[in-house]
Amino acid sequence: MDEKKTKILIVEDEEILLTALSEELKQEGFEVVGAKDGVEGVAKTVSEKPDLVLLDLVMPRLDGIEALKQMKDNPEIKEIPVVILTNLSDYDKVSDALSLGAMDYLVKANYRLEELVSKIKAVMERHRAGVDVVK
């Protein structure tokens, strides 16, 4: 019997990046769900119960920080690990996200697929082991 695929929700308003990330992660054997803004991201986190959320910080309707707050305030989904995706070199927002409970972050322009996959696997292992945020 097949091992259950890890389901990843990508919350990203840039359609090209959302599609590229989805395709890359599907090729690596993950089940992928997409959302185009924070409002949809929070709703899909509740409905889909992904194993991990990749969350952009700068989005329309509801930014990543507010979406993360809503996720962490909801007892149904607060335990789902979140990895921040950002273009920002604005580390204040990243550190805000980490202090709100995000487990890690990636700067979009600075990663390769292998790094993304290994970061997802590392975060999932830390989550399963009950280890919190990387300090």
**Residue whose C-alpha is closest to residue 11's, from 71, 70, 80, 64:** 64
Contacts of 38 (CB under 8 A, 6+ apart): 11, 59, 61, 62, 63, 64, 66, 67, 70
Number of folded domains in the chain? 1
Domain that holds residue 84: 7-128
Q: What is the mean pLDDT of the chain?
A: 89
- Check residue 135 and give its pLDDT: 41
What is the band of 111 on the pLDDT scale with cuts at 50, 70, 90?
confident
How do beta strands 52-56 and 104-107 pair?
A: unpaired
Report the C-alpha dihedral over residues 126, 32, 69, 95, rounded to 10 degrees.
Answer: 60
Q: What pTM, to 2 d.p., does this model score?
A: 0.90
Q: Residue 66: which CATH number?
A: 3.40.50.2300
Domain annotation covers residue 85: yes
Domain annotation covers residue 1: no
What is the band of 108 on the pLDDT scale with cuts at 50, 70, 90?
confident
> What angle is formed at CA 88 by the lines to CA 8 and CA 7, rounded to 5 degrees?
0
